[in-house]
A and B are shown apart, each in its own frame.
Chain A
Amino acid sequence: MAESATYKVIGTRPIRHDGVDKVTGRAIYGADVQMAGLLHGKVLRSPHAHARIRSIDVSRALALPGVKAVVTSADLPPAEDRTIQLGEGGVNLKYLSHNILAGDKVLYKGHPIAAVAATSPHLAEEALALIQVEYEVLPPVLDVREAMQDDAPLLHDNLKTTSLGQDTDKQSNIATHTQFKVGDVEKGFAKADIVIEREFTTATVHQGYIEPHNATAMWNPDGQLTIWESTQGAFTVQRQLAPVLGIPVAQIRVIPAEIGGGFGGKINLYLEPIAAVLSKKTGHPVKVLMNRAEVFESTGPTPGSYIRVKMGATKDGRLIAAQAYMAYEAGGYPGSPIGAGMMCIFTPYDIPNVLIDGFDVVVNKPKTAPYRAPGATNAAFAAETVVDELGEKLGLDPLQFRLRNAAKEGMRRPDGPTHPRIGYLETVQAALNSDHYRTPLEGPNVGRGVASGYWFNVGLQSSVSINVNADGSVTLVEGSTDIGGTRASIAMQAAEVLGLKAEEVRPIVADTAGVGYNDVTGGSRTTFASGYAAIEAAHDVLRQMTERAARIWKIEPQDVSFGDGVFRNAKEPDQRLTFKDVAAQLGRTGGPLTGRATVAPRGVGGAFATHIVDLQVDPETGKVTILRYTAVQDVGKAIHPSYVEGQMQGGAVQGIGWALNEEYFYTDKGVMANASFLDYRMPTSLDLPMIDTILVEVPNPGHPFGVRGVGEVPIVPPVAAIANAIYRAVGVRMCHSPMSPGLVMTEILAKG
C-alpha cells in the first residue's frame, strides 16, 4: 500500500447515495414502518428506583376495549443465570432478560415491568394506568462510592466481586475489580520531582440521539419472527433475541430501517422482545415506541464515575509514574465500560510505572450502555487535567509537555500490547502549528485549553457481496446500518478497486436474511472492516471479470491485466475492454457475476485526537461561552473527508455538552428530575461557533487504503480541554463534570 498513492475516488466528496431520501423525508426510519393490522405497544415502568415486586394484576387493563394483550416477564422463558459469550465480552442472560422485563425486583426508576398492545397508542397508555403493581420499596443507592461501602443496600442477592476470574465470595455491589500494572509506581513516585493527585467525579450522561427507540415485530403462526427497527446491528439483535426468547436464530429475521443516531445506545435489546411476545399473543404485528422520557430513564446512559489520578514527573518534563483508581457506575446490572476506560486513561503517554485499578459497580440507575468511546471521556477528563497541571507547574507549554512524553509505535500500552503505527505525535505537532494555537487570545476571563485522547477502535466481522449489472454498474450488498455516511465510504472503497465512479456503485444495507454476518455499526469499525470486506469483494469481482475477459479473447486469465478501469490483453496490447464492455457480455461468458468477501480483519489502528478550545467565563454567572474550537485527529486515510470532518465535529460537540451542561439530576428517591430535552441541556446551534477540523493522515498499515477508525475518539478530549481552558480563564481547576454555571460560580467564589 503506497503512502502517497493517488486515488480517483478515495478522498473525494461525492453526494451520499441515500442523501436525497433523507433530505426529502422519504427515508424510512424505524418509527415510520407501517403495515396492515398493526397494534401499538406501550410499556409500564417502575416508578421506584429500588423495590421488590410483590404482585402484578393486569386484569383491569385486559378488560379495556381495544386492548389485545398484556405481557410480563412470565411471558419470556425463565432466564438462566449463566453467561452468554458476546464475542468480545459476556452478558448474563438473567440480567439481560430482566432488564427487558423485570423479574422479582426493579433496580431503577423506569425499569420495564409489563407491556400492553392495543389498537391505538393512546388506548395502550390508558391501559398502562390500569395495571396494578404492589411494590415493597427499598432504599436506593445512587452514588458509586456509597454503593461500594460495606453497609450499602445490595441490588442483587448473589452478586459477588470478581477479580479476574476469581470470585471473592463477598456479596457486594462491586461486580468486578480489574488492574493494569507496569513497573513500580511507588519507586516511580519516589523519584519524581513533582507529584499531583486529584479526585474527579462525573455525572450520568446520555447519548442523546434525537430518534427514540422503536421496534415492530410480527410473530407468524409458523414460528417465524420478523423485527423491523432502528438498530446499530441487525445480527447482534438477532443473536441476543434467540436466547432471550428461547427460539433458534434461524427463526428470527431482523430488518434494519434507517437509524436516527445511536452512538452505542442502540445495540442492546430493549423493545424487541416485548414487541415479539405481544405479537405472539395477539397474532398481529405490534409496534412499540419509546417517548423521550423513557429514552432517558430506561435505555443505557454512560456511567457516572469517581476517578482519582496521581501522576509524577521529573523536572526535565518527563512523566515517571501514573496511578489511577477508577470506579464506574454500571447501573442496575453489571457491565460498565471500566475496562475500556482503563485501556485509554494514560495511553497517549510513555510512562515507565503505571498502576490502574478499576471497579465496575452497580447502582439504582438504568443499566449503562456504550456511549461513543465508552469510558474514555471520563478517564481523559481526569488524566488530561492532571497532565495540564503538571505541565504548568513545570513551566512547560501543555502541547510541548505532551510532545516530550508522547507514546509512539513500538511503545507498550498500560494494558500490555504495544502500539502499532500511530499518529499521536503528529496530532500534537499539528495542533502546535495550527492557526488556532498561533493566534493570541485576548480579553477578560478568556482561556485556552488543550487535551488529548485515545481510543483503540475495533475490527470485528463484516460480509459484503457485489453483483455486477449489465451496464457496468454494481450493486454492493452490505450489512452495516448507515448512521453517518458509511454507505458512501464503503461504496467508495469498492469503486476505487473496480475503477468505477462512486455513483456507479449502488450500496444497499440488507437485513439478516440478505447478507452475510456483520457486527455492529460502532466501535469505529465500519469504514475499516466493512470497507475491507468491500475491497476484498471487489477483488473477487475483478478475478472473475478477468476470467470473462480471457474468455472473450480466448486467452488465459494470467494474460489479462487490469488497471484504470480497463482490461488489457498482455499479448495484444491494443486489445482492451472496459469494465462496462465485459459487464455487457456476462450472459455470454458464463452468466451472472457476484463477488463476495467475509472478513475479520486484524491490524486495527488506534486513534488519537488533540483538541484546542478558547472560551470565556462570565464571572457573574459562571456561564462558559465557547469562542473557538479546533479538533485535530489522526484519521488514517479519509475516504470521504466531509464525513470524517462530520465525525470530528459531532463528537467534539457531544463532548462540549458533556463538559458544560449535560447530566442526570437525581432526586434522593432516585428519580431523574430532568428527563426532557428542555432540562437535559444538549448544545444548540446558538451555543457554538464553527468547529474547525485538522485531519492528520498517518495511514494504518493494517488496511489497504490506510483507514483508521475515526468515529469515537473526538468525544474523548473535549471535557478535559474545557476544564483546562476554564482554569486559564478564571484560575479554578474543575473536578466535577458537567462544569455547569452554578458549579463554576461556586469555585470562583470559593477562590475569592
Chain B
Amino acid sequence: MAVVWIPSLLQSLTSGEEKVSVRGATVGEIIDNLEARFPGVKDRLVNGTEIRPHIAVAIDGDVSPEGLEQDVQESSEIHFIPALSGGLADVPRSVLVSPAARQS
C-alpha cells in the first residue's frame, strides 16, 4: 500500500497521524480512501475534479502534473506540498476549451 504523508495542517483530521498507509491505484483513489477513514480530508485537498490550486502532489519526490489521475505504485510515498505559482505555468486540458463549451 502507498504511504501518504499527511500535511501538519490536516493532522487534526487524522487524529494526529502523520503518515497513513492507503490503498489506491491513482492519487484520486487514494484520496477517496483517505476520506473514507478520515472524513473532511478530501475537501481540503480537492476542489471538484482537481487538486486545489495551492497544492501539488509529489510521488516519491517527483511533482506530478497529472493530479488525481496520476498512477501510484505499491510502495510509493505521496506528499502534498505547496504548489509553486507564477513562473512554472502550464494550463491543463480542462481549460483549453472555448468559453462556450466550458459553460456546458
A contacts B directly (C-beta below 8 A): yes
Candidate in A85, A342, A602 with the most chain B CB atoms within 10 angstroms:
A85
**A416 to B54, alpha carbons, bound, how many Å?**
16
- A225 → B minimal CB distance (Å): 14
Of B44, B87, B95, B99, which one neighbours A164 at CB under 8 angstroms? B44
**A416 to B10, alpha carbons, bound, how many Å?**
14
Using A164-B9, A236-B90, A520-B89 as known contacts, say yes or no to A242 and B82 having CB atoms under 8 A apart: no
**Please, which residues of chain B bring their CB within 8 A of the CB of A25?**
none
The stretch from A87-95, A535-543, A544-552 touching chain B is A87-95
Task: Kindly state whether residue B39 has any CB partner on chain A within 8 Å.
Answer: no
Task: Kindly state whether residue B84 has any CB partner on chain A within 8 Å.
Answer: yes
**A179 to B5, alpha carbons, bound, how many Å?**
13
**Please, which residues of chain B bring their CB within 8 A of the CB of A267?**
86-87, 89
Task: Kindly state whether residue B56 has any CB partner on chain A within 8 Å.
Answer: yes
Using A86-B90, A162-B54 as known contacts, say yes or no to A416 and B85 having CB atoms under 8 A apart: no
Q: Are B96 and A89 in contact (CB under 8 A)?
A: no
Q: Are B8 and A179 in contact (CB under 8 A)?
A: yes
Contact residues of A between 232 and 254, Cβ < 8 Å to B = 232-233, 236, 239-240, 242-243, 246-249
**Please, which residues of chain A bring their CB within 8 A of the CB of B52?**
90, 165
- A744 → B minimal CB distance (Å): 33
**Please, which residues of chain A bring their CB within 8 A of the CB of B83?**
88-90, 339
Task: Kindly state whether residue A176 has any CB partner on chain B within 8 Å.
Answer: yes
Give the total number of A-B pairs whose CB atoms are below 8 A apart: 176
How many residues of chain A have a CB within 8 Å of chain B?
65
Which chain A residue lies CB-closest to B8?
Answer: A181
Task: Kindly state whether residue A369 has any CB partner on chain B within 8 Å.
Answer: yes
Task: Kindly state whether residue A603 has any CB partner on chain B within 8 Å.
Answer: yes
**A111 to B96, alpha carbons, bound, how many Å?**
29
**Please, which residues of chain B bring their CB within 8 A of the CB of A622?**
none
Using A165-B55, A461-B65, A602-B62 as known contacts, say yes or no to A86 and B79 having CB atoms under 8 A apart: no
Using A88-B63, A181-B8 as known contacts, say yes or no to A340 and B89 having CB atoms under 8 A apart: no
- A360 → B minimal CB distance (Å): 9
Interface string of A153-183 (1 = CB under 8 A from B): 0000000001111100000000011111100
Band of interface residues on B: 35 or more
Q: Are B60 and A417 in contact (CB under 8 A)?
A: yes
**Please, which residues of chain B bring their CB within 8 A of the CB of A85?**
50, 53, 91-92, 94-95
Contact residues of A between 248 and 307, Cβ < 8 Å to B = 248-249, 264, 267-268, 300
**Please, which residues of chain B bring their CB within 8 A of the CB of A179?**
7-9
Which chain B residue lies CB-closest to A517?
Answer: B90
Q: Are A519 and B77 in contact (CB under 8 A)?
A: no
Q: Are B95 and A243 in contact (CB under 8 A)?
A: yes
Task: Kindly state whether residue B98 has any CB partner on chain A within 8 Å.
Answer: yes
**Please, which residues of chain B bring their CB within 8 A of the CB of A603?**
62
**A337 to B84, alpha carbons, bound, how many Å?**
7
- B47 → A minimal CB distance (Å): 8
Q: Are A240 and B90 in contact (CB under 8 A)?
A: no
- A326 → B minimal CB distance (Å): 12
Which chain A residue lies CB-closest to B41?
Answer: A165
Task: Kindly state whether residue B43 has any CB partner on chain A within 8 Å.
Answer: yes
Contact residues of B between 70 and 104, Cβ < 8 Å to A = 77, 79, 81-92, 94-99
The 21 listed contacts between A and B (C-beta, < 8 Å) are A84-B95, A85-B95, A87-B91, A88-B83, A88-B85, A89-B54, A89-B85, A164-B10, A181-B18, A239-B96, A247-B98, A264-B86, A337-B85, A339-B82, A416-B81, A417-B79, A418-B61, A458-B63, A460-B88, A461-B65, A523-B87
Closest 3 CB pairs of A and B: A90-B53, A339-B82, A87-B90
